[in-house]
């Protein structure tokens, strides 16, 4: 690790490789002894130019592009995009489709929260926790695979509805899976609230007050753990959340412990919601007819991703391609807060604080640079060149 | 506050600047405010913030292309289920906007993005370092502009 000396201070770079999670981001912490006095963030290591690429593609092609913004929360991105385009086109997806969208969104939340739980357990040095929670996460991944055919990038949405229906066998396997996961969640909640060693890493660490959370614009479970009642599912219900309301889980402590508890308690809401949807799934069509061209106009769509509020802004010029598509992910809001929070803490607590907001860098970063041994400085590729590069690369592999 | 109250309060705030703004309501839960004088932008935002309507959800830049020669910048505030959009229009050449960091610290990331992706100079923003783009990105090339040509990057 390189250290750079400022007058009587050390700047310690964390990242770009794996700063806390297995994703790239660079943080520079100025330290005075063990205490962090200044923090700076640099992103873009996973920037793929998706917003620009979306302007060059049709509404339908964009759906597949958007699903690939993030592997963890691909469904919620596609959902936000579909809802925004449907709003512009004055199309409404049928009730059954909306319910299935919410069902998949909640399953995705369970998978995301379990993933996060394991990763932050690992950051705390509690690897048993990591292994058990990731074992259990497989259960929800299997459910998702059974439903949609994929473990990640489920591709459940189409413009105007969803692609698949549920059959009896799938419903039964979701129910038994949810029962199992609920029992496990209860156990994990007990662990994070009582395990003495673990509490030493979470209690009173990274405290964010309500006022701080509000002024720094924190969203999602990070905000709710600081007693800010901000949840899009409740504030501005979309898809079928009007018919299937959720309770907001709040905690006033604002430390890492609270963030653990809020996320775990949210899972019970998800389990409840999934059961309710399975009990009262409305009948009818799965898709509504969608025009190829979308009328000119603007749409803002907000949805609650596992990590917090996700905002899509779309401007259409009446053609078959969007004029502008803007994605504001929850992590970007929470990162600002985390950088400020780290100040005054021990350097050793920084990974836990970082992991505590559940950052998702690939969501955040959306240029492509290829480095080869013959061209160590790297070279920028256009989209066509990149596509050709991919084709050639795999052709070489086949030989 | 429910959505009607939020819209009423926000309209009240913006009304104090009626000589510099144009307000419309494209959807029941959306308030659209065109800010014609850029220097009034910050005071209006302070006004919204005082009324606790200042949760800044995003700042979106939109290039209207070289023919128009202008860019739109939208400030989206999302209190409750309402979306309040403040719109300003800046020229493509030497675009400048005041930074909001002093009143809304979370605006920094959005402003840094506007600065590097659209080439809008943010007055009062303390850093010009890249947030997303690589360190060796050429100066004066803004990828989110409509006339951006990726060929400029191949060397």
Q: What are A12-23's pLDDT values in tens digits?
A: 887 777 766 677
The band of A372, judged by pLDDT with boundaries at 50, 70 and 90, is: very low
Cis peptide preceding A9, ω within 30 of 0: no
Interface of B with A in 26-55 (CB under 8 A): 26, 29-30, 55
pLDDT at A7: 57
pLDDT at A380: 61
pLDDT at A363: 59
The string of pLDDT tens digits covering residues A138-173 is: 999 999 998 988 888 888 999 999 998 998 899 999
B131 contacts A43? CB cut-off 8 A: yes
Residues A87 and A159 in one domain: yes
Number of domains in chain A: 2
Tokens representing residue A93 in the block? 């997806």
Q: Which residues of chain A have a Cβ shorter than 8 Å from any chain B Cβ?
A: 41-44, 47, 49, 51-52, 214-217, 230, 235-236, 298, 300, 302, 309, 311, 313, 315, 323-324, 326, 328, 332-333, 335-337, 340, 365, 367, 369, 379-383, 385
pLDDT at A183: 93
Span B40-63, mean pLDDT? 88
B132 contacts A300? CB cut-off 8 A: no
Span B28-51, mean pLDDT? 89
Tokens representing residue A344 in the block? 């005054």
Residues A261 and A381 in one domain: no
Residues A399 and A257 in one domain: no
* pLDDT over 70 at B94, yes or no: yes
Lowest mean pLDDT among A45-49, A51-55, B32-36: A45-49
* pLDDT over 80 at A296, yes or no: yes
Task: Give B26's DSSP letter.
Answer: S
CB contacts of B132 in chain A (<8 Å) are 43-44, 47, 365
Instruction: Name every residue whose Cβ is closer than 8 Å to that of residue A109 and which is 6 or more positions away in sequence.
Output: A266, A267, A270, A306
CATH of the domain at A145: 1.10.645.10
Rounded Cα distance between B114 and A44, Å, is 14
Q: What is the mean pLDDT of chain A?
A: 85
β B21-24/A375-380 pair status = unpaired
Rounded Cα distance between B89 and B72, Å, is 5
The band of A361, judged by pLDDT with boundaries at 50, 70 and 90, is: low
Q: What is the mean pLDDT of chain B?
A: 88
Residues A274 and A382 in one domain: no
| A144 inside domain | yes
Residues A295 and A149 in one domain: yes
pLDDT at A23: 73
Helix, strand or coil, per DSSP, at residue A62: helix
| A339 inside domain | no
Contact B21/A at CB under 8 A? no
Residues A374 and A310 in one domain: no
ipTM: 0.92
B-interface mutation test, from A324, A362, A385, most B Cβ less than 10 A away: A324
Rounded Cα distance between A39 and A16, Å, is 14
Closest CA to A22 of A47, A48, A45, A50: A45
* pLDDT over 90 at A267, yes or no: yes
The string of pLDDT tens digits covering residues A172-219 is: 999 999 999 999 999 999 998 998 888 888 888 888 888 888 888 888
* pLDDT over 90 at A83, yes or no: yes
Neighbours of A386 (CB within 10 A): 15
B131 contacts A311? CB cut-off 8 A: no
Q: CA A57 from chain center: how many Å? A: 24
| A121 inside domain | yes
pLDDT at A2: 57
Lowest mean pLDDT among A59-73, A164-178, A351-365, B115-129: A351-365
pTM comes to: 0.88
CB contacts of B148 in chain A (<8 Å) are 52
* pLDDT over 60 at B127, yes or no: yes
pLDDT at B28: 86
The band of A364, judged by pLDDT with boundaries at 50, 70 and 90, is: low
Residues A199 and A325 in one domain: yes
Closest B-chain CA to A45:
B132
Task: Give B151's DSSP letter.
Answer: G
pLDDT at A371: 44
Q: Which domain holds residue A110?
A: 50-330
CB contacts of A340 in chain B (<8 Å) are 105
Which whole-number Å values give the CA distances from A4 to A13, A84, A159, in the listed order?
Answer: 9, 47, 51
| A62 inside domain | yes
Span A237-246, mean pLDDT? 90
The band of A366, judged by pLDDT with boundaries at 50, 70 and 90, is: very low
Residues A70 and A185 in one domain: yes
Residues A85 and A160 in one domain: yes
pLDDT at A299: 92
Question: Which of A307, A330, A353 is the last residue in one of the domains?
Answer: A330
| Top-confidence residue, A303 or A47 | A303
Instruction: Name every residue whose Cβ is closer than 8 Å to that of residue A296 and which is 6 or more positions away in sequence.
Output: A316, A317, A318
Instruction: Tell me the HSE value of B95 on the side-chain side, using a 13 A CA sphere.
Output: 25
The band of B60, judged by pLDDT with boundaries at 50, 70 and 90, is: very high
In percent, how much of chain A has pLDDT > 90? Answer: 39
In the block, residue with structure tokens 């030493």: A200
| A3 inside domain | no
A216 contacts B109? CB cut-off 8 A: no
pLDDT at A186: 94
Question: Which of A330, A351, A379 is the last residue in one of the domains?
Answer: A330
pLDDT at A178: 94
Helix, strand or coil, per DSSP, at residue A42: strand
Residues A119 and A232 in one domain: yes
Task: Give B153's DSSP letter.
Answer: G
Span A219-248, mean pLDDT? 90
Closest CA to A49 of A380, A372, A299: A380
The band of A87, judged by pLDDT with boundaries at 50, 70 and 90, is: very high
Residues A137 and A225 in one domain: yes
The band of A96, judged by pLDDT with boundaries at 50, 70 and 90, is: very high
Closest CA to A30 of A21, A20, A19, A41: A41
Nearest to A44 among B26, B132, B148 (CB): B132
| A363 inside domain | no
The band of A120, judged by pLDDT with boundaries at 50, 70 and 90, is: confident
> Which ranges of chain B would DSSP assign to H, the alpha helix?
3-15, 41-50, 107-118
> Residue B155: is it exposed, middle or buried by C-beta count within 10 angstroms (0-12/13-18/19+)?
exposed
Tell me the nearest-neighbour CA distance from A175 into chain B, angstroms.
33
Closest A-chain CA to B32:
A298
Domains and CATH numbers, chain B: 3-138 (3.30.460.80)
Closest CA to B62 of A93, A110, A54, A367: A54
* pLDDT over 60 at A373, yes or no: no
Rounded Cα distance between A132 and A119, Å, is 11
Residues A262 and A383 in one domain: no
pLDDT at A331: 83
Nearest to B131 among A44, A313, A323 (CB): A44
Which whole-number Å values give the CA distances from A61 to A81, A292, A328, B150, in the listed order?
Answer: 12, 11, 20, 21
| Top-confidence residue, A378 or A96 | A96
Rounded Cα distance between A151 and A146, Å, is 9
Instruction: Tell me the HSE value of B51 on the side-chain side, using a 13 A CA sphere.
Output: 19
Span B116-127, mean pLDDT? 87
CB contacts of A236 in chain B (<8 Å) are 29, 80-81
| Top-confidence residue, A369 or B20 | B20
pLDDT at A398: 72
């Amino acid at each position: 690790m390189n250290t750079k000396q400022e007058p009587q201070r050390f700047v310690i770079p964390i990242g770009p490789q794996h700063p806390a999670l297995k994703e790239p981001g660079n943080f520079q912490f100025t330290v005075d002894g063990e205490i962090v006095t200044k923090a700076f963030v640099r992103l873009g290591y996973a920037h793929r130019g998706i917003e620009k690429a979306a302007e060059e593609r049709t509404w339908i092609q964009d759906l597949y592009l958007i699903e690939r913004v993030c592997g963890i929360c691909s469904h919620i991105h596609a959902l936000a995009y579909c809802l925004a385009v449907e709003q512009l086109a004055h199309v409404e997806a049928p009730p059954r489709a909306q319910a299935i969208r919410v069902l998949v969104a909640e399953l995705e939340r369970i998978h995301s929260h379990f993933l996060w739980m394991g990763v932050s357990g690992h950051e705390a040095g509690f690897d048993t926790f990591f292994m058990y929670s990731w074992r259990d996460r497989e259960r929800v991944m299997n459910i998702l695979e059974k439903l949609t055919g994929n473990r990640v990038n489920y591709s459940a949405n189409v413009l105007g509805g969803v692609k698949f229906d549920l059959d009896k066998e799938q419903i039964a396997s979701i129910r038994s899976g949810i029962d199992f996961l609920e029992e496990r969640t209860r156990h994990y909640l007990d662990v994070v609230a009582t395990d003495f060693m673990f509490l030493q890493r979470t209690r009173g660490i990274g405290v964010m007050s309500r006022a701080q959370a509000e002024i720094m614009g924190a969203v999602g479970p990070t905000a709710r753990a600081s007693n800010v009642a901000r949840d899009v599912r409740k504030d501005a219900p979309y898809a079928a959340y009007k018919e299937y309301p959720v309770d907001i889980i709040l905690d006033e402590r604002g430390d890492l412990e609270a963030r653990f508890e809020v996320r775990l308690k949210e899972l019970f809401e998800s389990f409840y919601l999934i059961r309710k949807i399975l009990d009262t799934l409305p009948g009818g069509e799965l898709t509504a007819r969608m025009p190829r061209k979308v009328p000119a106009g603007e749409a803002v769509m907000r949805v609650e991703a596992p990590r917090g509020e996700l905002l899509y802004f779309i401007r259409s010029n009446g053609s078959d391609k969007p004029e502008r598509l803007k994605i504001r992910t929850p992590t970007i809001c929470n990162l600002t807060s985390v950088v400020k929070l780290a100040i005054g803490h021990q350097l050793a607590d920084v990974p836990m604080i970082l992991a505590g907001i559940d950052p998702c860098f690939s969501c955040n970063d959306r240029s492509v640079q290829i480095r080869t041994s013959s061209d160590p400085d790297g070279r920028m590729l256009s989209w066509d060149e990149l596509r050709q590069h991919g084709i050639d690369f795999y052709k070489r592999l086949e030989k | 506050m429910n959505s009607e109250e939020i819209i009423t309060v926000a309209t009240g705030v913006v009304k104090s600047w009626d000589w510099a703004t144009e307000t419309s309501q494209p959807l029941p839960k959306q308030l659209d405010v065109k800010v014609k004088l850029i220097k009034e932008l910050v005071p209006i935002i302070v006004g919204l913030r005082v009324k606790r309507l200042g949760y800044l959800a995003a700042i979106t830049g939109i290039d209207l292309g070289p023919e128009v020669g202008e860019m739109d910048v939208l400030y989206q505030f999302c209190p409750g289920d309402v979306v309040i959009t403040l719109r300003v229009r800046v020229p493509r050449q030497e675009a400048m906007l005041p930074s909001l960091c002093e009143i809304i610290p979370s605006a920094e990331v959005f402003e840094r993005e506007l600065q590097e992706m659209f080439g809008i100079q943010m007055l009062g923003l303390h850093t010009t370092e890249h947030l997303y783009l690589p360190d060796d990105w050429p100066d004066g090339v803004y990828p989110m502009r409509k006339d951006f040509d990726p060929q400029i990057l191949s060397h």
